[in-house]
Structure 1
């Protein structure tokens, strides 16, 4: 008698296996917890095996059978996705799910508008997004949890491809009443004596501090934060300057206080914003369409959105 289970049930099974709980799986696949519980129960009944054991302190743990079936279920889902992508290529259509990662420092500025403009042209595409730091994006791509990632050309590993879009020179973020605020450009020599609010993200912080190291100086780090919005508010309230590569749409911190952005002199290396994907990842028609669209959209928006023009 043929087995009767659905790809959706396998998706729920894999989500619970990867996250260790129904609640976390519910968030991952954007489906209610009761639906996931029902789907797994139906799958267990159809397969005739128990897939999980519940522990109060540890959540759900796969049984021996569950662990063996989890790898196969992941393979089936990957093959189903490849079949869907191939069908889209053969039919000439652009459709299906697309998981996009984005560096957290500029996700709020770039990704929502880019997503909206793409799905307006391709209504059968379903995009999901995740914001992360650079190291986390590398990991998500390698685990095939995302298809593409918007990020910088910063310490790129050999196993990832990078499609450059626009170069972004560093800018000094500073409060309106800072002693250097009236300058048209500023050097690391001028900045070094003043307190710095460091955007303390993996790899990014090393990039910002390298400007001082190359000049034989050390930054006077007074505050650290991993949050772009918090950094802007600290700067605007006089806790120090900071260095960024993406300029907000408005020179106002989240708490409403004004701030300024001044070019950094000395020919510091710019960051190049672009798209990353795994080298072994097949570029489907959907991937190619998104890469092309992202290039056109970001280049068109760069002056206003990213502050690349004076």
Structure 2
């Protein structure tokens, strides 16, 4: 008599993997809302209606029996602790699905999918435009999205999964963020043309103590710049606090003071600062929680070459 064990097993509870009660599309909607912290912004980015995104989030919360977002008037939709953990899994799953499709349907050497790169605003204009051109020329089936901002903004985006990579300096990097070191970026003194201190090849903070300082007053950047003085027991004479590179360079160029930067754009005048501070590195940072995709690896390859050719020290 033939065995019916297989039929009984199937009837009692199949061991086959079944699809869950939600779709990849609904997961993509959820990840978009987590990225933008707004239903309407996510809908605009996805080119769908806001009610469709709202319905997807409601379905996921009902299916999982968990609250994924807290609704806050000031900040919009903020991930709960459970939502944050779920966002990590969803993002990795979606990236894996993209790579699965790329490997099965196309030449396995061709890169598909998308990558979000964030860059410090100080040198974004010198890296992002050539990177976009090279990436589009080499990887026509992939898309790269760029973002620029200050140090705090980049770190927050890496931790929430909004950014795959961030081109930044490696100071005050929290645990969980991994860094690919590209090159050292020592502090430099930016001075107006013709300033007497430009006759020196190197400067110390003590020589700058009586000079008016133009401080780039941004989160973390501010504290880092001021620590260059406090480390040597010197109090700087802050003349201006600015929030953009354009204003900083404009004030310096017109003789209103000096500033400190790790990257000096072309047509500026700088000298190396002798300091007891650790010299930071320019790095490509990423979170270890999120899947490192082939598209991200392609960006790393191009950025490494671009940064090698970028002059960090002005004349």
- The TM-score, its normalising length taken from structure 2, stands at 0.74
Aligned: 1:290 with 2:304: no
User: Do residues 152 (structure 1) and 169 (structure 2) align?
Assistant: yes
Q: 1:295 to 1:13 in 2, by over 3 A?
A: closer
Give the direction of change, closer, same or farther, for the CA distance of 1:61–1:183 in structure 2 (3 Å limit). Answer: closer
In the other structure, the counterpart of 1:233 is: 250
Gaps in structure 2 of 5+ consecutive residues: 1-18, 63-70
> Structure 1 residue 270: deviation in Å?
2.8
- Alignment of 1:82 with 2:96, yes or no, is yes
CA contact (8 A) 2:121 2:150 kept: yes
Could you tell me whether the CA contact under 8 Å between 2:88 and 2:161 is conserved in 1?
Answer: no
1:36 aligned onto 2:52: no
- The aligned counterpart of 1:190 is 207
- Two-structure CA RMSD over aligned residues (Å): 4.0
Query: Could you tell me how far apart the structure 2 residues matched to 1:16 and 1:192 are?
Result: 48
Who is 1:118 aligned against? Answer: 135
- SS of residue in 1 equivalent to 2:238: strand
- Whether 1:265 and 2:274 are equivalent positions in the alignment is yes
- Report matched runs for 1:1-310 at 5 Å: 11-12=28-29, 15=32, 19=36, 23-25=40-42, 29=45, 31=47, 35-37=48-50, 39-40=52-53, 78-88=92-102, 91-251=108-268, 260-266=269-275, 269-299=278-308, 301-303=309-311, 306-307=312-313
- Give 3-state SS (helix, strand or coil) of 1:201's partner: coil
Greater CA drift, 174-183 or 15-24: 15-24
User: In structure 2, how many angstroms separate the alpha carbons of the residues matched to 1:59 and 1:219?
Assistant: 36
Give the alignment's TM-score, normalised by structure 1.
0.75
Structure 1 position 282, deviation (Å): 2.8
CA–CA separation in structure 2 for the residues paired with 1:16 and 1:107: 26
1:2-24 deviation per Cα after TM superposition (whole angstroms, max 9, x unaligned): 99997557645654576565553
Cα 1:5–1:108, aligned 2, differ >3 Å: closer, same or farther?
same
Q: 2: distance between equivalents of 1:15 and 1:285?
A: 21
